[in-house]
Chain A
Amino acid sequence: MNGDIPSNGPANGSAPNGNGHTLAVHVRGVTKTFGKGEAAVQALKGVDFDVRQGELLMIVGPSGCGKTTLLSVIAGTLEFENGEIDVFGSSLHSLKPREVTAFRKRTVGFIFQQFNLIPTLSLVENVSVPLLINGVKRREAEERSAAMLERLGLKGREHKLPTEFSGGQQQRVAIARALVHEPRMVICDEPTSALDKDTGQQIMEQLRDIARHPERCVIVVTHDNRVFKYADRMTEMEDGRVQRVHDVAARGDRRFDTSFGVTSDG
C-alpha cells in the first residue's frame, strides 16, 4: 500500500502525499523483535503507515498485535531494527540516541493510560515538567502550565495534588502536560480505558480539538470502541502489520461502524 510515497522521507517536516495531504509521520518497513533466539518475539513485521498533519489517527487491533510497540518506536522511546521513520522532518532511523532524546523532548507529548502524574507534585508542577526538561525557567514554566490548566478547565486548582482528583481530571492534567511545550506530535496509549464512558468521551473530544491544528497530529492507540468515532482515520493492525486504514472522516459523519465494514487504502 501507498507505494507512491518515496521511501527517503520528507526533507523538511512536511511532504505532500499522493492525495494532497501533508504528512506528519511516515513509517516504512519497520521491524522490531523482542528477545533473542527461541524466545524472540517479532512484534513489528514490516509496518508501513502514515499520519497526516492536523489529524487524529487511531491505531486499533487485537491484543498483542503490536500497537504499543509501534507507538513506542514512533515516539522515539524504543529502538527498532529495520525500516524508516520520519516524524516532522526528524529521521529517527538515522539519529544518535542523544538526538532521539532531544527529539522526544521537543516534538512529542505523551499521554499514558495510567496518567503517570507524580503524586507528590502539585498539578502545576506536574504540568511544568516538559518545559523544565526543555530548559525553560521555573517561573515561566509554571505560568505557562497554569495557563494550560486553565484552558483545560482546572483553574484555581493548580496547587493541589493529583491524588485529590478523579481519573478524568487527572487525565486532563496529563493532557495539559502533554501539550504545554507545544509538541507537534501527541501520543496516547489507551487514554480512556481507565475512565468511565462520559469522561472518556470528553477526553476524546479534547484530543480531537487538539488535533485540529495544521502542524500537529495526535495518535491514539485504543481498544475502546465507544471512542472510535473521534478518529479522522483508523489504522487496523494485526500480528505486527498494518492491515487496513479506514478513512472515517471521509464518510461525512463522525460515527464509525465498529464492524470495520468500510475499507480504504487511505
Chain B
Amino acid sequence: MFRLALKMLLGDRAKYAMLVGGLGFATLLMMQQSAVFVGLMSWTTSHLRNIRAPIWVGDTKVEQANEVKAMRDTEVNRVRSVAGVEWAVPLFFTILQSRLTDGNFKPVMVVGLDTTTLIGRPALMLKGRLADVRLPNAVIIDDLAVQRLSIGRKKPLDVGDQFEINDKEARIVGICKAERHFFGYPYIFTTFDQARLFSPKSRKMLSLVLASPKPGLSAAKVAEAIHQETGLAAYDENRFGWATIWWYVRNTGIPVSFGTTILLGFIVGIVICGQTFYLFVVDNLRHLGALKAMGAGNLTIAAMLLVQAFTVGCIGFGFGAGLTAAFGFAVLDKGMPPFLLPWQLPVFTFVVVMLICMFAALLGILRIWKVEPAIVFRG
C-alpha cells in the first residue's frame, strides 16, 4: 500500500515539485541562516582559539572576551600568588591604526605577549621564526593582515618588510594563520613591551592575565579561586567562550535578525507544505474514499499520508541540505560570510522539517478521517 501511496504522490508532478521545492527552500533558509549565525557567534570567540590559555583573568567588570578594561601591572603578581595557579602572564591587547602606502588607515588588533614565555602566541606560523618577535620593532602578522595592509604596494607584505602602526615602524618577522575575528581586523602579534611602545601612553597598560591551573586541578575551580582572592573576573576557557556568545545574544540584534529569517523559513515550509499537501488530499478524496470503501481503515490511510509526507520531507530536506552544503563550500575559502555547520544544525533542521510534514499530514488525516466511505457513490 505504501508503495502505491508514494506512486500516487509522485504521479502528481506539480504538487510533488511544489512540496519538495517548498521544503527544500525552507531547509535552505533555516539551515544556511543558522550556520551563518553559528559562524558569526564563533567569530566572537576567536581570541580564545587564537591566543589559547586555560584561564583568562580581566578587570572585575569584564563579561566577555572582546572587552578590554585596563588593569594595573601589579595584578599579574596577585594572580600568581593564588594557590593552585601554575603560572600567570600578562597580555596586552589594543586596536591601533596602521597606515597603508596609499595613505589610508586600517585598524589592526595588536596582541602583546609575555616577552619571556610568549604565551598566547599564534598557533600556526606560516613563515618566519616565532622567537624573532623578541627583536626590536618586530611583529608577526596574520594572513588577513597581509591581504589588508598590502593595498597600494607592488608586492604583498612579506617577512622583512616594514609598515607603520600608530606612526611607529613595525618590521615583519613572521606570518601566521589566525582565525578570523568578529571585528574583522587582522591580528598583529608582538611582545608585551613592544606592544606598549606602539600604543599611546596611559597609566594602566595590562589588558588580561592568562593563567594555568597546577597539574591535576580543574581550570574552573582555580578560576573561581582567583576571583575569590583577587576580586578580578576570572573564567576558564570554556565558560569564557559561552559567556561571550551569550553576551552577544543578549546585547546585539544579531539573534533577532537571524531568528526572523529562520522563522520565515519555518513559516514558508509550513504554509507551502501544509497547503499543497492538503490540496493533494482534497484532490484525491474520491480515491481515498474508495480505499476506505474497499476496506482500508482510517489508520491505514493515515499511515499512507504520513509515509507520503515524510518521504517528501526527506527529499526536500536532502535538497535543501545539499544547497546549504554547496553554499558552505562556496564561502569556505573566502571565509565570508561566516559559516559553521556543527552536526546539531542538520539534525535540528531535519527534526523541524519532519514536524512540518507531520503537521501537513495531520491536516490531511483530519480531512479524510471523517469522510464516509459512501461518498464514492455520490457524483
Contact = CB atoms under 8 A, between A and B. Distances in A.
15 contacts: A68-B377, A72-B374, A75-B374, A77-B292, A78-B373, A78-B374, A112-B376, A112-B377, A113-B379, A116-B287, A120-B8, A120-B12, A121-B11, A125-B4, A133-B1
A244 to B, nearest CB: 23
Interface in B216-270: none
A119 B286 CA distance: 12
B376 A116 contact: yes
Interface in A104-129: 104-106, 108, 110, 112-114, 116, 118-121, 125, 129
Contacts of A189: 377
Contact of A75 (B12, B291, B293, B296): B293
A193 B263 CA distance: 53
Given A78-B374, A130-B295, A114 B379 contact: yes
B24 to A, nearest CB: 22
Contacts of A103: 295
B9 to A, nearest CB: 8
Contacts of B284: 118
Contact of B7 (A110, A116, A120): A120
Nearest to A178: B294
B145 to A, nearest CB: 62
Interface centre among A72, A77, A119 (most CB of B within 10 A): A77
Interface string A127-160: 0011011100010000000000000000000000
Contacts of A98: 297
Given A120-B10, A121-B8, A138-B3, 18 more contacts: A78-B372, A78-B373, A78-B374, A105-B294, A105-B296, A106-B295, A110-B293, A113-B379, A114-B286, A114-B379, A116-B287, A118-B8, A118-B284, A120-B7, A120-B8, A120-B11, A125-B4, A125-B7
Given A68-B378, A114-B379, A130-B295, A104 B373 contact: yes
How many of chain A's residues touch chain B, expressed as a range? 20 to 34
A6 B373 CA distance: 30
Contact of A77 (B11, B300, B376): B376
A58 to B, nearest CB: 16
Contacts of B287: 116, 118
A103 to B, nearest CB: 8
Contacts of B10: 120
B71 interface: no
A121 B295 contact: no
A77 B374 contact: yes
Interface centre among B8, B374, B379 (most CB of A within 10 A): B374
A195 interface: no
Instruction: Summarize B's interface: helix, strand, loop or mixed.
Output: helix
A235 to B, nearest CB: 17
A101 B295 contact: yes
A210 interface: no
A102 interface: yes
A119 B10 CA distance: 12
Contacts of B323: none
Contacts of A125: 4, 7
B375 to A, nearest CB: 9
A65 interface: no
A133 B300 contact: yes
A5 interface: no
A134 B372 contact: no
B290 interface: yes
Contacts of A102: 295
Contacts of A138: 3
B3 A105 contact: no
A125 B1 CA distance: 10
B296 to A, nearest CB: 5
A130 B294 contact: yes
Interface string B275-302: 0000000001011001111111100100
Interface in A27-84: 68, 71-72, 75, 77-78
A10 to B, nearest CB: 22
B80 to A, nearest CB: 77
Contacts of A132: 1, 4
Interface centre among A101, A105, A138 (most CB of B within 10 A): A101
B305 to A, nearest CB: 15
